[in-house]
Amino acid sequence: MKALVTGVGGQLGRALLQSVPAGWDAVGLDRAALDLSDADAIARLVAREEPDLVINAGAYTAVDRAESEPELARAVNAAAPAVFARALAGSTARLVQVSTDFVFDGAQGRPYQPSDVRNPQSVYGATKAAGEDAAGDRAIIVRTSWVYAAGGANFVRTMLRLMRERDELRVVADQIGSPTWAAGLAETIWRLVSRGEAGIYHHRDAGVASWYDFAVAIAEEAENIGLLARRPAIMPIATADYPTPARRPSYSVLDVSNTRVALSDAHVHWRSALRSMLKEELSLA
């Protein structure tokens, strides 16, 4: 069985290639191999490779820059899934479309279920919501949040760099969500594929946190294993104190109960997953 995995230059794409199950031959595609804004290139690739599965982990993820580049964000996040869906139509091949908590507005105050009404507040969120629709009814949609991995470009590694450079950091404390280790997300995606069912699923690590909580945990855990020589002071601030071009949901915790029931698996707490990632990061240092 052949799978095409897009976005392998990113942290989730790499994790997917590192966890390919037996019986699958995965072809990894980074931006150089496949420009997701090029519809003709996508169609030609699918026609040539004739895959049994496409996992579209590639995306335009520059949330703030998307506000000034909406056409490019739309081409990658919305148009590309539509091209994949059309190219796979008429075959038994499946499409997995990776999506985001940013399709919700954050106003509900309880974890979002897969069936809850979407109301994205940013160009990034709107284009990812459009990508979900474009993927079609036969697709597996996997929404996730706050993804990080060793060696990637993410909040954890940015915090580690800043913690080494500064004596004090200011981190937003009124945006609430759930961190997600890319390795666990990749495993969930492959297991959902093995079930052969379509639909919308949520995956995140257990527990909730603010960005401030997450930063404090990063400092504590990194110091414990020697990844940081000392912990800087970390000060909580409000979103209003750190304005950004894109509006972010204030509460974007995803309800993952249907995924956990479907897979009959354990739900790893985000702090435990963070420890595993930091140990991997230490091995790369």
Q: What's the chain's average pLDDT?
A: 97
Edge-to-edge strands, sheet with 94-100? 25-29, 2-6, 53-56, 94-100, 140-144, 199-202
Residue 73 has pLDDT above 80, yes or no: yes
Task: Give backbone dihedrals phi and psi of 196, rounded to 5 degrees, phi first.
Answer: 75, 20
Q: Closest by alpha carbon to 200, among 257, 255, 141?
A: 141
Q: Does 236 map to a domain?
A: no
Residue 266 has pLDDT above 90, yes or no: no
Q: Does 60 map to a domain?
A: yes
Q: Does 171 map to a domain?
A: no
Residue 187 has pLDDT above 90, yes or no: yes
Q: What's the pLDDT score for residue 222? A: 98
Residue 128 has pLDDT above 90, yes or no: yes
Q: Closest by alpha carbon to 128, among 142, 138, 139?
A: 142
Residue 216 has pLDDT above 90, yes or no: yes
Percent of the chain predicted with pLDDT > 70? 100
Residue 195 has pLDDT above 90, yes or no: yes
Q: Does 210 map to a domain?
A: no
Number of structural domains (the chain) is 1
Q: Is 124 one of the catalytic residues?
A: yes
Antiparallel, parallel or unpaired: β 209-210 and 176-177 = antiparallel
pLDDT digits (tens, 9 = 90+) for 103-113: 999 999 999 99
Exposure on the CB side of residue 239, measured as CA atoms within 13 A: 13
Alpha-carbon gap, residue 32 to 23, rounded angstroms:
27
Residue among 124, 201, 212, 251 flagged as catalytic: 124
Q: What's the pLDDT score for residue 267? A: 86
- pLDDT band at 152; cut points 50, 70, 90: confident
Q: Does 243 map to a domain?
A: no
Q: Does 193 map to a domain?
A: yes
Alpha-carbon gap, residue 131 to 112, rounded angstroms:
19
- pLDDT band at 64; cut points 50, 70, 90: very high
Residue 285 has pLDDT above 90, yes or no: no
CATH code, 67:
3.40.50.720
- Tell me how far the alpha carbon of residue 215 is from its chain's centroid: 18
Please compute the mean of the pLDDT values over residues 40-63 and round it to a whole number: 97
Alpha-carbon gap, residue 131 to 241, rounded angstroms:
32
Q: What's the pLDDT score for residue 3? A: 98
Q: Does 273 map to a domain?
A: no
Where in the sequence is the domain holding 47, given as residue range(s)?
A: 2-145+180-205+253-267
